[in-house]
Structure 1
Amino acid sequence: MSLKPQISVIISTYNSEKWLEKVLWGYACQDLNNFELVLADDGSKKPTFDLIEQMRGQLPYEIKHIWQEDEGFQKSKILNKAILACDSDYILMSDGDCIPRQDFVSQHLAYREKGYFLSGGYFMLPLTISELITKEDIFKQHCFDVAWLKARGLKASFKNTKLRANNKLNAILNFITPTNASWNGHNASGWKADILAVNGFDERMQYGGQDRELGERLFNYGIKSKQIRYSAICVHLDHPRGYKTPESINKNLAIRATTKNKKSKWTAFGIQKNTN
């Protein structure tokens, strides 16, 4: 009989096998192994299925592949299905274009606290470096080494501190950063019970802010947030975003404005339907 996982990791994906493979290797490098990986797949085609089948025997963790038909950008809907599939009481969410550092999952576990969700960030890599990263680079953690990245074209920036900071400096930077501790779909975690209490993601929302809106309802429900953007590190692989449109952004902004003005804790368009 298998042990209940300490944490469920939801990874969203859509027809991005090249990036997803790197991400799955990233989770193979984690410094703890009592987690499950739930792949929230918004309609990928056969190459993604083939990749998962090919990698299953090579990974030290199981993949739950939660898939739905491709009906346009429906990430909120597939994430709600993935939430229900999670066996752990605690859920970490990230994306299929974000390679996690080897302590990514354990940092989320270390900082988790009842009454809070955790807000992380990402370190954006240019497309040229994103394409260069190999399985070996992931296992040797080269893609988190500033010197290695600079040798391959990374520009000097204060943001590079995120990859260099030690534990003491992490705590200071987490405290002083002006960035809001919001729910970020690429790097956030919280208690499954809290996510269910606000009815998950609003399925009317398409690209642009559906993760933030979930966090805003969690705030309205009484959950606070903690900033861990300098502690839980993932690198973001660059790619085009053809699903980002002014219409989707404006629609989502209107829904978020309603959530804020009405101090909504619940969406009628989430996991449970037709519920007041």
Structure 2
Amino acid sequence: MKSSNPVLSRLGRAAEQQRTGYGAYGPPGEPGYGQPYPTAAYPAAPPAVQPMTIDDVVVKTVTLLGLTGIAAIAAWNLIPDGYMGAAWIGAAVVGLVLGLIISFSRMANPALVVTYAVVEGVFVGMVSKTYQEFLGYSGIVLQAVVATFGVFFLMAALYKFKVIRATPRFTRGMIAAIGGLFALMLINFVLSLFGFHTGLRDNGAVGIIFSLVCIVVASLSFILDFDQIEQGIRMGLPQRYSWTAAFGILVGLIWLYLEILRLLSYLQGSSRD
């Protein structure tokens, strides 16, 4: 199946040249395209890079999750309460910048991805500690973690058994939905700076509905990740791009976790009233 993602298509063609070592001679479509045909004098070049596999993506994803978890636990226990606000804001800003750089970069950069995982771990740790210890939502962190991974594995099963597929229409709809949600979040944040409250992030009916919509969209975003991984493996992208694939899953898991955490706080807050 031909990829509908132009970036993946370009990376796939580049990966093919890297693997085969084909240069600039020979007719298009033939084995010798890009260099002289292999002969005794000019043997075929050995593969220059290894293509990524699903095992590569799994290992990298587990590695990033481990780093994020360790950073979150360390931040929770080591950062003094008086510096929590600064650590929260600093990690959020640095994580956003790193995420944008990684997302728009055409080359996989493992060092940036690993740094992102650690920085986001600090952010997640600060947010989690605030909810559980300072706002008094007992057990909320464990509940959110279990729910997050439960949703992730459910979406993986739905994709594996082809219950949900990343069709072109589905992909366009998801891109529009994600863009729309983040635009609403940004507008809500800017308005809140001027004292206007839309209710999108308040403990009320509007806030609960908005969180549920975010959870659904965040969950469905994994379908796009799984599809890109499948296409990348089919195209033979270099092994280093498994870091980029793992980064996409990590971003989705963090977003889903934060939305579930927020929704649980709404529900627990309602039960206190």
Give me the TM-score of the superposition, normalised by structure 1: 0.25
Q: Return the index of the structure with the highest Cα Rg.
A: 2
Q: TM-score, normalised by structure 2?
A: 0.25
Q: Which has the larger share of strand?
A: 1
Higher helix share: 2
